[in-house]
Amino acid sequence: MSKRIWKLTALVLALLLALTGCSLIEIDQEMDNAEAVATVNGVTITKGEVKDTYDYYVNYYNYMSSYYGTAMDTSTLKDDVIEAFVKSEIVKQKAAELGLDQLSEEDTASIEAKANERLDEQITEHGEDVNTEGMSEEDARAAVLAHLEEEGITLDELIKSETETLISDRVRESVTSQVVVEDSDIEEAYNTEVADDESTFSNSTYLYDLYRSNGTTIYWNPEGYRTVKHILLKLSDEQAAELKVLNDELSDINSAIAALETPAEETTEETTEEAAEETTEEAAEETTEETTEETTEETTEETVVTLEDLEARRNEVLNAIADLNDEHMASFSEKIEEIQAKLEEGASFDDLMAEYGEDPGMQREPGMTEGYYICAESTNWDPAFAEAAMALEKVGDVSEPVMGTNGVHIIYYNSDVTSGPVPMDAVRDALAEKVLADKQDEAYNAAYQAWHDAAKIQKYPNRLG
């Protein structure tokens, strides 16, 4: 064979390799997974141990980048993931050094119980991901377990995770058990929290209301707040749906009116008219049952909607909402009369709230005891509820029944909220717990950093691919 033929053959083979993505080259997956991506004091952390976690975060960042349309910075992702495994190995080695990795029979039993509990939670959570129709309970469980195994969730893995958590907690406790909180620590933290809250809430009732609703400890209260409790008689799903249709239409009409009254500079007259016509079409479809789709489209195409038309329709919708609210209120008349009669007889509002109320926020703490915090500027409440709550004149007053978007409210003026710093005694326990946790974190992080600095660590992030 001539040299020219050999060269041509080699060129064809090279081209085939390029076109097939080098499919002729096989990777020994077991050897690849065994490759070291880090060593800690001579102990190897393999690619196989790290890769699933790394791939998870790659997929997560890709999803988030696609969702928000902005590329997320993944330049340190390999280092970050490997460092997490390095930390786990350092803690594991420290536990062995301190003799904290030895498990008693009681420890093992507790770990297995927690792992089985987590497995049951996973089975419940992922049960809908598997078609188990027609299966026995035993076969359905086996099918879900097989699905979980494909996702890397097995009882052995959960036992391993619980074991690592127990040992890690022991190491942390060995460092932090001697940490104490002094009165001066609490006083310093209190002053800081008061100043932070005053800065945050002075110009933002929204954030104050949000923190209150989230159960965040508050150290400073703005002026003008009170607490109220209420008995909520909820609308049925059907009643709520009827009201939502009208409220949605009202919202659309208000948007169209705003567009006509104050059009944006870049919005053409034609675009504004189209928006108004679309709103009118929606209103016509919702309120004229006997009009066919074809007739409605022809009518709206030919009609130019004016501001007067929209305002007239808004008044019609407002009247329809008022009529519907009256109808809904009447459906609760029997319960309302019972509640009001018991209040007149001296029954406790809290007892009646427990008996009749249907708001979950009034059935758990802190709402059950403290009520809801509200002021005239609050914006995160149903306007009907907020207006009635702020109309009450003194602590102990009870409102007349008020119809809101969720149902009928009977509101109780529970207390006035003293503005300014919350007394330290009222927040001392929560603050001491927070200060202790912060000091423990500080102590543990310092100890871990010392272990990390003393360890012989090598990392090979590029081996993750």
Helix or strand run (H / E) with residue 43:
strand 43-46
- Closest of 47, 52, 9 to residue 27, by C-alpha: 47
Q: What is the pLDDT, as a whole number, of residue 366?
A: 87
Which of 311, 330, 349 is the C-terminal boundary of a domain? 330
Measured in whole angstroms, the distance separating CA 131 from the mean position of its chain's CA atoms is 28
In contact, 255 and 228? CB cutoff 8 Å: no
Spell 426-440 as b/e; 16+ CB within 10 A means b: ebeeebbebbbeebb
Strands 226-234 and 220-221: unpaired
- Closest of 378, 418, 379 to residue 395, by C-alpha: 418
Written as six digits, the tokens of 131 are 């078609």
Q: What is the pLDDT, as a whole number, of residue 385?
A: 96
Question: For the chain, what's the residue count?
Answer: 465
Q: What is the pLDDT, as a whole number, of residue 277?
A: 53
Written as six digits, the tokens of 272 are 């504004």
pLDDT classification of 14: cutoffs 50, 70, 90: very low
pLDDT classification of 247: cutoffs 50, 70, 90: very high
pLDDT classification of 204: cutoffs 50, 70, 90: very high
Q: Which residue has the tokens 């619980």?
A: 162
Give me the domain span that covers residue 308.
237-330
Q: What is the pLDDT, as a whole number, of residue 17?
A: 42
* Relative orientation angle of helices 137-150 and 105-126, to the nearest 10 degrees: 100
Query: Could you tell me if 228 and 260 lie in one domain?
Result: no
Higher pLDDT: 349 or 214? It is 349
Q: Tell whether the model's pLDDT for residue 263 goes beyond 70.
A: no
Query: Would 128 be classed as within a structural domain?
Result: yes
Of 5-19, 71-85, 213-227, the range with the lowest mean pLDDT is 5-19
Q: Tell whether the model's pLDDT for residue 151 goes beyond 70.
A: yes
pLDDT classification of 131: cutoffs 50, 70, 90: confident
Query: Would 79 be classed as within a structural domain?
Result: no
Q: What is the pLDDT of residues 70-106, one digit of tens each?
A: 888 888 999 999 999 999 999 999 999 999 999 999 9
Query: Could you tell me if 267 and 137 lie in one domain?
Result: no
Helix or strand run (H / E) with residue 407:
strand 407-416
CA distance 99 to 83: 24
Which residues, 6+ apart, have CB-to-CB distance to 281 below 8 Å?
Answer: 296, 297, 300
Query: Could you tell me if 317 and 357 lie in one domain?
Result: no
pTM for the structure as a whole: 0.68
Query: Could you tell me if 380 and 298 lie in one domain?
Result: no
In contact, 260 and 310? CB cutoff 8 Å: yes
Query: Could you tell me if 231 and 357 lie in one domain?
Result: yes
Query: Could you tell me if 231 and 291 lie in one domain?
Result: no
In contact, 175 and 168? CB cutoff 8 Å: no
Residue 458: helix, strand or coil by DSSP? strand
CA distance 10 to 15: 9
Written as six digits, the tokens of 278 are 């679309």
| pLDDT over 70, % of the chain | 85
What average pLDDT does this structure show over 369-394?
95
Q: What is the pLDDT, as a whole number, of residue 442?
A: 96
Query: Would 75 be classed as within a structural domain?
Result: no
Q: What is the pLDDT, as a whole number, of residue 261?
A: 82
Q: Tell whether the model's pLDDT for residue 233 goes beyond 70.
A: yes
**Angle at alpha carbon of residue 379, lines to 376 and 381, rounded to 5°:** 95
Measured in whole angstroms, the distance separating CA 234 from the mean position of its chain's CA atoms is 25
Q: Which residue has the tokens 């659309």?
A: 252
Of 86-100, 105-119, 123-137, 151-165, the range with the lowest mean pLDDT is 123-137
Query: Could you tell me if 349 and 326 lie in one domain?
Result: no
DSSP 378-392: --SS-HHHHHHHHH-
Query: Could you tell me if 275 and 322 lie in one domain?
Result: yes
Top-confidence range, 122-136, 196-210, 258-272: 196-210
pLDDT classification of 26: cutoffs 50, 70, 90: low
Q: What is the pLDDT, as a whole number, of residue 456?
A: 97
Query: Could you tell me if 278 and 318 lie in one domain?
Result: yes
pLDDT classification of 387: cutoffs 50, 70, 90: very high
pLDDT classification of 207: cutoffs 50, 70, 90: very high
CA distance 391 to 3: 100
Query: Could you tell me if 231 and 372 lie in one domain?
Result: yes
Query: Would 361 be classed as within a structural domain?
Result: yes
Query: Would 196 be classed as within a structural domain?
Result: no
Q: How many domains does the chain have?
A: 3
Which residues, 6+ apart, have CB-to-CB distance to 263 below 8 Å?
Answer: 269, 272
Query: Would 286 be classed as within a structural domain?
Result: yes
What average pLDDT does this structure show over 152-157?
91
